[in-house]
A and B are shown apart, each in its own frame.
Chain A
Amino acid sequence: MRPFRRDWFQGDRGMHQGRSDRFHEEPQTSHTCGGSRTRENVVTPPLTAQAASSSPMAMAVDFKTYVDQACRAAEEFVNIYYDTMDKRRRALPRLYLDKATLIWNGNVVTGLDALANFFDVLPSSEFQVNMLDCQPVHEQATQAQTTVLVVTSGTVKFDGNKQHFFNQNFLLTAQSTPNNTVWKIASDCFRFQDWASS
């Protein structure tokens, strides 16, 4: 394995001050300009009252709602996550909960400090996502904390390394406000498909 180089500044050259990175309401794949730079966020419309309910009966009745919301969150999230990973790497830790854990090819990274350090060390990347799936996580597992399982796959090229196929999954957890829902990564598991021989 060739030693990696810290070339992720290349990614940073694409950053512009003053870009708003906040997405409201409708999912967007492009950045809006203007205004002061705000926190990186995966934001969707507020969860419906029914969907936010923790009653088990509500869960059965509103399954379609859960699915729709999960899909919306997952698509929004995936767009932002990989875009941030490729182009605004330094902002990536903001998508994680404070105590989130990343498992990267078997290596565990826990907590925002460690995550920030890890993503700092990681070479610049070019991700291509070819597969996306998501499910609302059953409330019995999360004790009514709205959570979405996101599974992705695709290819990635890290600077100084060959291209890999990768598999990744996330647990996203919702933090609801009256105006919107902010999704954060509770856990992130990443693995090259060919890690055994890389």
Chain B
Amino acid sequence: MSGHNTQDNTLQRRPRGRTMYQRRYNYVSEHVRSGIHFSSHQQQDGDTATTGIHMGTGIRYAPYTIPCYYQRENFKKRDQTRANMEKEQKPPERMEEKQDETSGSWFKIPFGIRYDEKWLLNLIQKQCSVPFTPVEFHYEKMQAQFFVEDASIAFALKTVNGKIWDEDNEKISVIINRSDAPHSVQKELKSEKAEMIKVMQTQDKLCIHIQTHLFFPHLLPPFTTSDSEPLNPMSNSAADHEQVKSAGQLAKGKGLWPEEMSANRNSLCTTIPDKSTNIRSVVPSVTPGEPELPLMVPVGRRQYYLIYDSGVRQGLLGAYHDEACFSLTVLFNPTDQAPSSLFEYFKDNRNMKNLKDPYLRVQLLKHTKRDIVCSLCVLPKTQHDLLSFVVDMWFQTERMLCFSVNGVFKEVEGKSQGSVHAFTRTFIAIPASSSGLCIVNEELFVRDAIPDEIQSLHLPSDFAYPPSAPYPHCHRSSRKCWRLSPPHLG
């Protein structure tokens, strides 16, 4: 009998006393935990199958004692105890409803007794109408398990239950449990994604796809702080361009909201502009009415940027929640002799350090999509240096994404034409449709640029615009990009 170890063979044929089994069974039943489920049916003397119990945890397999699943003599159908046990031992509803990131649903197929893998799988396949690929076939204690990727395959396998017997004429049960992707697959996925990102980096193409899995961000390679280096808060985190020693991690909101059940996951967080990158392509601001550009996160040399063109205001408005909030604050240097180049922002300035009137504080907080539209449209036309953008992604849960964009822009028309300003734009967004963002809160802070920022400003007039589309990857697989635009404008 292939696959059975000799101990099993011996034990099978050993005469057993009832008392011993009952005692053992009682012990087992007292220690039943949720992980226990039927594993194998074994027959003897033509009796209908007894039920075996697989102990997922807690009970060690002692080689010279009799495993519980051999207690078939005592568990005949007519035995009331056994009937009760059957009911008790029904596999619990352990459908893990977690949506996992793999393309299919994973199912665990557990068995009992150490059968030979090939023999068992062949046996199953003979009975199963659907070809299946077992993943990570292994034994947990005496229970054989493997994973299959598809729900339909799993259910097809389930129909094999009770239709296969081993060479001792013992029925083999097939039970399915929904589960997370097996570790090997998860690892594969991770490395796949890492490969993709690496390829993009070496090509110096500025594109990475933040999929809807941003809300399950463990697919992105984590950038972690080097543990060996003590954190120096005053150090310039961009001092070393080669190694991002202290890039951030996205905080998963575990434990902050009582309903959160997400596990600890890492994701990419703060970015540092790569001054060594030669890419200077800039998407010019687009006047209202032109097709919007997809929002994407480009990557160059381990650094990530969030590209955002605030000129595309109409297109972006589709991304605002009906009840979104928007407010604007302005700071200018009061010692400036000339009238401030920021004066066009003054009327919406909601800086609460100066604004104390509670009524005005409410008024200046734009509340509906329509109000936000109006506010944004009357702001001066701008041209942004997209490559100056630095993004902090500072909070994330499965329900929201919080990030801030820091950068500079130039006024391209009006009295302040040519003025360079700096901004920090803070967003709180929630997922929308299949791969979209929906902004629920936005705060825009505009100020004079400091000399360093002005000097580092690079706009299309300074550099030749690259001939190819700047973000070809994202355009092609736009499904996987965050799009700050309503789908119909795509």
Contacts and interface: CB of A to CB of B under 8 A. Distances in A.
B273 interface: yes
Contacts of A74: 352
B363 to A, nearest CB: 10
A187 B392 contact: no
Contact of A134 (B231, B255, B352, B395): B352
Interface string A110-132: 10000000100111000001111
B39 interface: no
A186 B253 contact: yes
A193 B430 contact: no
Interface SS of B by simple majority: loop
Interface stretch (A11-19, A30-38, A44-52, A101-109): A101-109
Contact of B394 (A99, A123, A187): A187
A168 to B, nearest CB: 9
A1 to B, nearest CB: 6
Interface stretch (B131-139, B157-165, B373-381, B442-450): B442-450
B365 A196 contact: no
Given A135-B325, A153-B445, A167-B406, A173 B256 contact: yes
A140 B430 contact: yes
Given A138-B321, A138-B428, A153-B445, A106 B353 contact: no
B18 interface: no
Nearest to B327: A133
A20 interface: no
Nearest to B233: A122
Nearest to B244: A106
Contact of A196 (B232, B246, B273): B273
Given A74-B352, A187-B251, A149 B441 contact: yes
A196 B395 contact: no
B394 A169 contact: yes
Interface string A159-198: 0110001010101010000000000001111010111111
Assign chain B's interface to a size class: 35 or more
Nearest to A122: B233
B22 interface: no
Interface stretch (A21-29, A64-72, A85-93): A64-72
Contact of B450 (A60, A97, A153, A165): A165
B321 A109 contact: no
A142 B365 CA distance: 19
A141 B400 contact: yes
Nearest to B366: A135
B381 to A, nearest CB: 23
Contact of A130 (B325, B353, B450): B353
A28 to B, nearest CB: 16
Interface in B228-265: 230-239, 246-249, 251, 253-259
Contacts of B447: 153
Contacts of B400: 141-142
Given A131-B329, A191-B392, A67 B426 contact: no
Contacts of B249: 108, 110
A123 B234 contact: yes
A23 to B, nearest CB: 18
B327 A141 contact: no
14 contacts: A1-B235, A63-B367, A99-B253, A103-B248, A103-B270, A107-B248, A123-B234, A131-B351, A131-B353, A134-B352, A135-B325, A141-B399, A187-B395, A189-B392
A110 B265 CA distance: 13
Contacts of B79: none
Interface in B325-340: 325, 327, 329, 331
A64 B362 contact: yes
B394 A101 contact: yes
Which 6 residue pairs are nearest across A and B when measured between Cβ atoms?
Answer: A101-B251, A138-B440, A141-B400, A189-B394, A106-B270, A106-B237
Contacts of A84: none
B361 interface: yes
Contacts of B214: none
A110 B231 CA distance: 13
Contact of A151 (B422, B429, B443, B452): B443
Contacts of A136: 325
Contact of B331 (A104, A130, A161): A130
